[in-house]
Amino acid sequence: MSLGGIRNLDHSVLLCRRMEATRAFYRDVMGFPIEEDRPNWVSFRIGATLLSLRPRGTWSVCDDGVAVEGSASVQLAFRVAPPAIETCRAELVAKGVPILRGPTDLPSWRHRTLFFRDPEDNIIEIYAEY
């Protein structure tokens, strides 16, 4: 198999400046179950995918560089059923998460979306296809 034969993204790693706050966000706010929890590494199971967190800095392969305060490094999009968009918004507001853009229809994408940030300033999107 060549690189062009890759068909799945199975594991993503977020580089964290605020490891404990980000861990708590994905565990408590997003409600993702922890798959693995070690010092300086935590993985959450999201369906067939793992989302892991580790501290930003020098790692086994290279130095991650400096993150710019207030700018996103990644946008994560999580698909839900259409009726769940309003429920997700209400849950986030109840948990004190500021909403960047409330439920919005994007007809050209055939999506209804909701945007907010995690403690690392990454942009998180909850979306439904219609």
Q: What is the pLDDT of residues 40-64, one digit of tens each?
A: 999 999 999 999 999 988 776 777 7
pLDDT of residue 70: 76
Closest CA to 122 of 50, 9, 46, 17: 17
**Could you count the other beta carbons within 10 Å of the beta carbon of residue 39?**
7
pLDDT of residue 110: 96
E strands, 40-80, in order:
41-46, 49-55, 75-79
User: pTM for this structure?
Assistant: 0.89
Identical fold for domains 1-58 and 69-130, yes or no, is yes
- Give the 3-state DSSP-derived string for the chain, with helices as H, strands as E and coil as C: CCHHHCCCCCEEEEEECCHHHHHHHHHHHCCCCEEEEECCEEEEEECCEEEEEEECCECCCCECCCCCCCCCCCEEEEECCCCHHHHHHHHHHHCCCCEEEEEEEECCCCEEEEEEECCCCCEEEEEEEC
Token pair listed for 81: 């059923």
Say if strands 99-106 and 41-46 run parallel, antiparallel, or are unpaired. unpaired
* Domain range list for the chain: 1-58, 69-130
CATH code for the domain defined by 69-130? 3.10.180.10
pLDDT under 50: residue ranges of the chain: none
Classify domain 1-58 at the CATH topology level.
2,3-Dihydroxybiphenyl 1,2-Dioxygenase; domain 1 (3.10.180)
Bridge partners, 4 (sequence order): none
pLDDT of residue 60: 64
Greatest CA separation for the chain: 47
